[in-house]
Amino acid sequence: MPSGYSRWRRAGLPRVLFESSIWVELWGSLKRVHKDRRARHRLAFLSLGVALLVLLVAAVVVYLALMVGTGAIFFIPFVIPVLWWLRRSANREFQAMNIVPQWARPEGKTEAANEGRLRRYFADLALLYAVLVDRAGSERFLKEKALPPEVEVTSRRLHMDALRANHLWARISLKDREALMMPDGAWGWEKINVFATGIEPLRLLRWILRLDFRLPTIGQQLTGDFSTAHEFVVDPDRLRRSSDLVEDSAVRVARDDAHSTLLRCIAEAITRGYQVAEDEKTETWAKEFAAELSGDQNADFLLGNELVSEANPDRLAWATALANIRTDFLSAVLDLLDTGRPPEGPLTSIFAEEDESVAEPR
């Protein structure tokens, strides 16, 4: 399982410090610092990062104070235009020396075009998941709250209009379209719980599109927030304002991390008797793997602030479901990144691809 240090370093510390997930994780580390070596390492690394940022801010303040104190700051408006003019003149001279046109490689253009199409596909898919998850949140609200008779629910209309406005309604799969066409309040609890698991693919797509620069592990993201879906429903353009796309190496690390969590949860479930192993060899592996990590505060996988070996059956089952979704989804993303082209056919969610899904108990 990747350490907190390696994940923060890949995401970029300055960006990571402004994401709420890092502070949630560090609060959990504070609770475990007395018994978990990994928690102490995370706190030490963050302390170092914060100290460096404070020193940088202090250096900038001191520099500005010196500029003001010596009066040099008043020359900046005159120096900047001169530096810009000198740089432009140097660029012109350099271009004049290169009389042979420098053409970009065709394959480079093709690769950039493919990446653009792939990013548009991920943005479209993110909007589809946002609509489905937001509808699940609306249906849950209608199940739990009694609305006055004069109140009109318009979630169905809002979601269909959002997809039509972005030219996606005719492109989505038949099963997804049928679910969205059902009247407001017509979803049962089973459908609501199944579609609520779309929060996981949506959070992955936010990370893939670089709207989030950090992807916490499964154990740090056991809960979801329906508001992350609604913000894209009301502002779909946010998904297309950037041209960044996650690196395939980062996706591979996240996929492997999710797969490791999945294996750990399966091993625990088999050991406890919640799940039946396929054969004797698998059962032996599961029991040995679980016994090796059970109760080890410094090594066993975490689900929130407790070890997998300490988790109750519901939390263990839910973590297994999330790890399975993340592993499969990121494996499919890796295949797309390898080919460089979006898939053919309709825009399809995991709910339309599979007949059965695991739902979180309400």
Looking at residue 361, what is its pLDDT? 38
More confident call, 226 vs 30: 226
At residue 5, does pLDDT exceed 50? no
Kindly report, residue by residue over 313-342, the tens digit of the pLDDT.
Answer: 999 999 999 999 999 999 999 999 999 889
Look at 28-32, 173-177, 203-207, 322-326 and tell me which has the smallest mean pLDDT.
Answer: 28-32
Kindly report, residue by residue over 205-257, the tens digit of the pLDDT.
Answer: 999 999 988 888 998 889 888 888 999 999 999 998 888 899 999 999 999 99
Model confidence at 105, pLDDT cuts 50, 70, 90, reads very low
Looking at residue 139, what is its pLDDT? 94
Kindly report, residue by residue over 136-158, the tens digit of the pLDDT.
Answer: 999 999 998 877 666 667 799 99
9 contacts 42 by C-beta, under 8 angstroms: no
Model confidence at 103, pLDDT cuts 50, 70, 90, reads very low
At residue 54, does pLDDT exceed 60? yes
At residue 115, does pLDDT exceed 90? no
Strands (E) across 204-328 are located at 302-303, 306-307
* Beta bridge partner(s), residue 302: 307
Show me where the domains of the chain are located: 4-97, 116-245
Looking at residue 208, what is its pLDDT? 95
Asked whether the whole model's pTM tops 0.85, one would answer no
- Which stretches within 12-154 are classed as H helix? 13-16, 20-32, 37-70, 76-97, 106-144
At residue 16, does pLDDT exceed 60? no
Angle at 263 between CA 258 and CA 269, to 5 degrees: 125
**Portion of the chain with pLDDT greater than 90, in percent:** 50
At residue 98, does pLDDT exceed 50? no
The burial of 118, by beta-carbon neighbours within 10 Å (0-12 exposed, 13-18 middle, 19 or more buried), is given as buried
